[in-house]
Chain A
């Protein structure tokens, strides 16, 4: 099974400042088709999760450009260039190369 490890598990941020979350997988997420199946989701308080980033760095429809994803192989990062109040919630990374496995989640608060 692929294990996803996120750090930190909680993050206190100041509006307007950047924030960064790390995600490491126990195996490479690079598929033989050339794609890397790493996703980022945000679950805002009281809501269902929503997709932010797919294939490491592609922003999903409607996601603000202050969100960016990077990385390769087993090491990945989600960055928020300037945090806004609406960005609070729990962020999850997920691998989709072998079934699906989520990281533990990173709680972001202002």
Chain B
């Protein structure tokens, strides 16, 4: 069974940093691209970042480029999102989600809440 479990969310002040983690199990992690998708309170879904299976290809939404860094540790079956220079509009539930070959975002985690406030 595919499982994705996010952690690391919390309350942080504007300008602060946070690192999110996503622990994957039930599939061959290194063969799948992975993503972070966020959802601000009461709003829709926004794709944040993607990383290929071997980490060679990385993409970011313009809204986070230069502030967020996605990376992975295939030995630990884990995905990460380092978030720096956080702003109030980064407040959201952050989901990790898998791409399986040509099927995008086929499995999602339960999400972790990031709140940016003073």
Binds A, one of B7-15, B20-28, B44-52, B79-87: B44-52
A92 near B45 with CB under 8 A, answer yes
Whether B106 lies near A51 (C-beta < 8 A) is yes
Indicate if A105 sits at the interface (CB-CB under 8 A).
Answer: yes
A102–B103 touching, CB < 8 Å: no
* A99/B102 contact (C-beta < 8 A), A48-B95, A48-B110 known: no
A50 at the interface (CB under 8 A from B): yes
Q: Closest Cβ of chain A: how far from B109's Cβ, in Å?
A: 7
Q: For residue A50, which residues in chain B have a CB less than 8 angstroms away from its CB?
A: 108
- Asked whether A100 lies within 8 Å of B103 as measured between CB atoms, the reply is no
Interface size on B, residues (CB 8 A): 20
Majority SS at the chain B contact face: strand
CB distance from B78 to the nearest CB of A (A): 19
CA of A55 to CA of B110, assembled, Å:
24
Contacts of A60 in B (CB 8 A): 103, 106
Residues of A within 8 A of B35 (CB): 100
- Please indicate the chain B residues that have their CB under 8 angstroms from the CB of A35 in the complex: 102
Q: Is the CB of B105 within 8 A of A94?
A: yes
**Looking at the complex, which one of B59, B103, B106 makes contact with A99 (CB distance below 8 Å)?**
B59
CA distance A60 to B47 in the complex (A): 20
B56-79 CB contacts (< 8 Å) to partner A = 59, 61
Chain A residues within 8 Å of B, Cβ to Cβ = 35, 37, 39, 41, 43, 48-51, 54-55, 60, 90, 92, 94, 96, 99-105
Q: Which residues of B contact A (CB under 8 A)?
A: 35, 37, 44-47, 50, 59, 61, 95, 102-111
